[in-house]
Amino acid sequence: MEIDRRAFFSGLGGAAAVALMTDEARADALEHHLMAQAAAPATYPTAAELEAQIDTRTSRRGAGNLFVAGTGNVKRLAPLPAAPTLADYFNLRFMATSNHCLQSANRALKNGMSEEIILACLLHDTVQDLIKVDHGWWGAQLYEPYVSDKVIFAIRYHQALRFYPDKEHGYEYPDIYRRMFGSDYTPEPYIERTYQMVRKHKWYLEPRMVTVNDLYAFEPNVHPTLEQFTDIIGRNFRQPRDGLGFDNSPVAHMWRSVAMPDHPL
């Protein structure tokens, strides 16, 4: 059964709260969540019903995780070192997305994917801590100066491919999208056009493999760590000497916005 990771985590007080739980408590919570899910009828809202919820919210669904509290208030963030690395951002800013990305990269590793696909999986949703809307494009831009064109292609287009099943490669339309976008949702024309372009591209399998290894399930006994990927990052990620956010790259301001989201201007 597929687990709605967001619903599961928010039911427990968010990813940070889950991280503080013992393994035993986490396993218990997961079991309760699965039982509740099994008992609940599989009904999904329509796109119109989701649209009608917009003005019942205090924030928009496209806002990044760092800027909105799932429950309660936002948390104080630990300072980053002077020249922050990808690992520093992973540990100190990408708290809401890191587990999902580590699980996806771990699955890609187990499935024998290339280093570029594993890295793309590791990075693919991290930009959602900055901004969620159109996260494939935002994520590709965030990483563009530091990784290969193939990794960028995979990150940019995984977003569009998520809406299109590919049975041959073992990818089905995700149930969680019926909940997130509505049971009758059809992707917008720019997504459809992007899909058609990527489907015919010689690099199609790069983003497709990100979607195949994109893991929404919270696996209770799998705890991948960033250290497993240190060598792959070292070989495939050009860490700037002055630190991400301080290297005067065209995307440095995006990294600074992740580093210091409390700055009012």
Residue (80 or 119) nearer to Fe ion, CB: 119
Calpha distance 107→210 (Å, rounded): 10
Residue (125 or 129) nearer to Fe ion, CB: 125
132: closest CA among 185, 212, 67, 217? 67
Minimum Å gap between C-beta 44 and Fe ion is 19
Calpha distance 123→255 (Å, rounded): 14
Helix axes 95-110, 205-213, angle to 10 degrees: 110
> Count residues contacting Fe ion (CB under 5 A)?
2
Q: Is 116 in the site for Fe ion (CB under 5 A)?
A: no
Instruction: Tokens 């100190």: give the residue.
Output: 92
Instruction: Tokens 């597929």: give the residue.
Output: 2
Residue (18 or 80) nearer to Fe ion, CB: 18
- Among 21-29, 52-60, 117-125, 164-172, which window interacts with Fe ion (CB under 5 A)? 117-125
Choose, by CB under 5 A, the member of 4, 125, 129, 206 that binds Fe ion: 125
Site string for Fe ion, 76-115 (x = CB under 5 A): ----------------------------------------
For the chain, first and last CA: distance in Å? Answer: 44
Minimum Å gap between C-beta 176 and Fe ion is 10
- Among 53-61, 86-94, 115-123, 214-222, which window interacts with Fe ion (CB under 5 A)? 214-222
Residue (216 or 246) nearer to Fe ion, CB: 216
Residue (121 or 259) nearer to Fe ion, CB: 121
Residue (203 or 246) nearer to Fe ion, CB: 203
In degrees and rounded to multiples of 5, residue 144 shows phi and psi of -50, -45
- Among 13-21, 81-89, 194-202, 212-220, which window interacts with Fe ion (CB under 5 A)? 212-220
- Among 5-13, 37-45, 73-81, 124-132, which window interacts with Fe ion (CB under 5 A)? 124-132
Choose, by CB under 5 A, the member of 4, 116, 206, 214 that binds Fe ion: 214
Locate 76 and state its tokens: 């104080």
Calpha distance 152→138 (Å, rounded): 11
Exposure letters 236-264 (e unless 16+ CB within 10 A, then b): bbeebeebbbbbebebbebbbbbbebeee
Minimum Å gap between C-beta 125 and Fe ion is 4
Calpha distance 121→207 (Å, rounded): 9
Binding site for Fe ion (CB under 5 A): 125, 214
